[in-house]
Amino acid sequence: MEEEEPSEKGLWSGNLRQFQWTNRQISLDTKEYITSLEELVDRVVKRIVTEPQPVPSPQVSTGTVIMDSDEEPPTEEHKLVGLSAADVQNKQVVPLLRLDKLTADLAKRDQIHVAELAAKAKKLAECEAARSSELEADWNEM
């Protein structure tokens, strides 16, 4: 599979399922390395909330987020974002967390498999040694 370059507006271009995660991703805004999945999730959520998404959703969101702070003068209009937190979580964050869980499960299974193989190799070596000593004893009796 060919890796796609990050787009200017997002961390990746293309389908999320086709995106191949590496241990280090470079953010286009800061040119710094993102070393943890949690940091990547935080940046994706922040970018989704602050920038309009280029792909329109076929479903209409019923929730809005009012972005207002106490520091702004009250005469300024509220900024409304037509993207609910549930949409962000369902479409972006949940697949990333699921990927992290599946990766951890796979690593755990690999460790168990390696331990089982080591135990079987040790048992095989012991059996071969016992068989060799039996054959040597039989040979000496002849």
Return d(Cα 110, Cα 104) in angstroms, integer: 10
The predicted pLDDT at position 57 comes to: 54
- What is the per-residue pLDDT across 91-119, written as a single tens digit (0 to 9) for each? 777 788 888 888 888 888 889 999 999 99
| Average confidence (pLDDT) over 60-64 | 54
User: What does pTM read for this prediction?
Assistant: 0.32
Where does the pLDDT of residue 42 fall: very low under 50, low under 70, confident under 90, or very high at 90 and above? confident
